[in-house]
Structure 1
Amino acid sequence: MRERIQLSKDILDQELEELTAQLFDQANKMVIDEARMRDNLENANKELRCELKDWIRRFETRGEELKDLQRSLRALQAAKARSASITALSPGTSVANLDQLSGSKIYRMAYGQLPVDGYIFIEFQDHIKQTALASSLPPSQAQATTQSTLFMRRCMVEDIEPCLFYNYQHPQFAGMNLTLFFKPGAGMSSAFKRKLLDGTMRGSLLFTPFYSSTESLPAADPIERLDQDRRISTVFAAGPPPKTRCTICTVVRDCEYRMRFSSEVGASPTGGPSSSAATIEWMSLCRFCRERVIAVTDFFTYINHLRQGAIGPGKQGASLLGIYRHVLYLRRRMASTRIGSGAMFEVDPATNPDWEKMIQILN
């Protein structure tokens, strides 16, 4: 009996040892297989990384080649534009072709962009911010705040004062210091300049044709101005306007218009350079000074609408760039009226080849 038990125990121990050996062999095999699979995965990962780096290098090379190609195309377009401009400057070239090849158009042809001076645009953005912040202030304080921004001070120095207080060089002043003479408003008193500037800011100036006895609407109404121009052209055909001294430029010339301040009831502005008597209400105004005053008034009217909230970014579909473009248009209009030749730029030489025959030099 004891021998049988010992034999069973020996057999059981042997089977246990064999089973343990099999388990260890299987475990070792699994470890070896896992190590082999890990090595294969790492090798495959290395190969894929190398391939990825190779593709990245290829794409970077293609990107550089594409940039070089774009630069070459731009240079080619610029060369074509320069060649076209040189061809346009050859003898016999029409003015229409010269106008079509302006600097900005050549830039757009070469680069497809519209460059804008970022410094002035930043000043305008700050003006819009100050305008929004001043909306809760009283009207007088809000106006003073918006008028003191860097953008408005720039417009005042560069556009408004040179346009509104424009003056000419007279032969009798040939011996004077021209630097002092060409200072804006040299022929006006300080009181009159302040009153004229305030009138354009408030839109309180009235204009009427020299022959009319009725008051016209303020300068900011373009429909009334167009109607006046039509009536004046009809009357001028029957007789020329009076030749008198213009209130603003102080030049003796044909004065087709008269001007007054809407707050007055029978007197011209104190200290005004008008040669008429102090009891005369209306002041003589030449065509060119009227256009300058209207250009300044239209600019202030638009700025006032911005301050009052009638116009602004996001209102009536207006964008900041759209508002900025219109403000620049009004500034450009002041510049063109200041030089007294704004009407020349309202005619397209391409559609009016005989535009030179339409020019009328007025003294």
Structure 2
Amino acid sequence: SWSACFSHQTFHLEPEPESRVEGGRQVGPASDRPHGDLCRLRSSSLEIKEKEIREKGSEILREQLDAAKKELKLKDKECERLSQVRNQLEQELEELTASLFEEAHKMVREANVKQAGAEKQLKEAQGKIDVLQAEVTALKILVLTSTPSSPNRQLHPQLQSSGTRGAHKCGGGHVRNKSISRAFQSSSGKPEPSSVSIQSAGKEEREMDSVLFAEFLLWKEQPSLDRSTAFLSRIYKEDIGPCLSFMRSELSQLVQRAVENNSLTIEPAAVSALPTVKAAALECGGPKKCALSGLSRTCRHRIKLGDKENYYYISPSSRARITAVCNFFTYIRYIQQGLVRHNAEQMFWEVMRLRREMTVAKLGFYFADQEV
């Protein structure tokens, strides 16, 4: 240590005092002045050494402090770098987490959209299926009601006996339709005696009109509801117009337009059987007066034109005329949509039957069960 070194050096700097013997006795230093100089010399040398030692120690401490500061700076830089790396990793982790959540939400949204679209398509498909099933059912009913009670053996050769098969051509033929004979019954539902005798006397004959059939074939190539075609123009002029011609001409035109647009509704006039309607709805005519003919008749039905709130009471005869025209439009719409699988001749005779129903209804004949 520094103290040990200092003691060692002090020991060697102190000279031994000189002594001499004079007259039988020992005498001390020659004088006190050299002794004081030596003390001062030793004190000065001690101070110098001590100062050097302090300076040297301070220098060593400064060097150690500088080294410690440098090391601390290096560690600070390393800590700062590691902190930046940590922050960068945390930021990347947050971005990755946000991206994953966003992607997950996006996938969930797309799945929800697809599910909603699929459900909507399913509902639309179910609605279309219901509509098609209803149309098929109505078409079956229409075909069944239009089937003659006695089959036409000329149109169905397989029904002919072996002896007579092949003896007739596919031209004219015989048909007997009970629904047609019923059309000529009185309003009370009882057939007139003359009509009974006529029906029992013989079968109804029919012969195809070549002009009408040619117009029908031309229309069937591109079936539409365009009344400018020769086929529909004739029917409008000869059947539809007269059948829907009532005393109230303005209302008659509205009825015809609603029938053409397939937006006319016929409802029973009984209050218990009707759906709830707004109190502001205007009901024209009444249970005892037909809104179309203006005649005092018992009206068991009423009509509604499109989405209007007005209701019009109609008599059984007016209802029969409207339903006859509606049946005709329903059948030609089925032909237009490709739902009828009969040949052209069968379609033509069904159209003629529907035209005859319009004519019969126009003349005032209707079935008794239509009043129900």
TM-score (normalizing by structure 1): 0.42
Greater relative contact order: 1 or 2 (C-alpha under 8 angstroms, separation 6 or more)?
A: 1
Q: Rg bigger for which structure?
A: 2
TM-score (normalizing by structure 2): 0.41
